[in-house]
Amino acid sequence: MNFLAHIYLSGDDNEIKIGNFIADDLKGSKFKSYPEKIAHGVVIHRAIDTFADSHHIYSIGKTRLREKYGHYSGIVLDVFFDHFLALHWQEFSNHNFRAFCRDFYLNLVKHTTILTPRYRYMMPFLIVRDWFGSYREINGIESVLSRMSRRTSLPAESQFAKEILVKYYEVFEKEFFEFMPEIIEMVEREFRIKIKR
């Protein structure tokens, strides 16, 4: 799952959301030096990633992207699933989507000092470009992947990703709807977080 899904699966606690957001930058046990709820968000993030990476739906979805993305295919599939979550938001949350995005952007600003340097640098761009809102459009997904390829080792194949998403759109969407209830149930069961829907 990418940023939007991780934040959604954090429940209502703002510190857990921040921990879940910055988790990829906190390798090993570094997260233990952070405040308790931030650290808890990192633990949840890792559990979500482990669940997704070992799920058969994810394995199937990644095969469609492997030609150009290789072992980075899961990152692209994460972004695709964020697209479907943003697009079908009202089926999974009783929060208004725009309000949810705005509240999280404000949460980032409030917790600027806790963000890792990479995410502190990225924060203004994420907010100004309304990164979460852009997930709703296929062209927005292409733009997100293009920006990610400039900042990370993700291959610069955003046009290919867009073509695969369009070609298998209904299949990816069906897989998303099969997968989401399972990961929601896992988070609620394992971490006693109520995901509003």
Identify the pLDDT of residue 1. Answer: 79
How confident is the model over 80-104, as pLDDT tens digits? 999 999 999 999 999 999 999 999 9
Per-residue model confidence (pLDDT) at position 153: 87
Check pLDDT > 90 for residue 116. yes
Residue range 8-24: mean pLDDT, rounded: 97
The whole-number pLDDT of residue 50 equals 97
Mean pLDDT of 71-82: 96
Distance CA 135, CA 81 (A): 9
Q: Does 196 score more than 80 pLDDT?
A: no
pTM tops 0.85:
yes
Per-residue pLDDT reduced to its tens digit, 153-171: 899 999 999 999 999 999 9
Residue from 102, 87, 119 nearest 19 by CA: 119
Residue 178 above 70 pLDDT?
yes
d(CA 114, CA 18): 8
pLDDT of residue 197: 65
The pair of three-digit structure tokens given for residue 38, joined into one six-digit string: 């931030």
Q: Give me the percent of the chain exceeding a pLDDT of 90.
A: 95
The predicted pLDDT at position 128 comes to 94
SS3 142: helix
Q: Cβ(28)–Cβ(8) under 8 Å? A: no
Are 86 and 131 spatial neighbours (Cβ–Cβ below 8 Å)? no
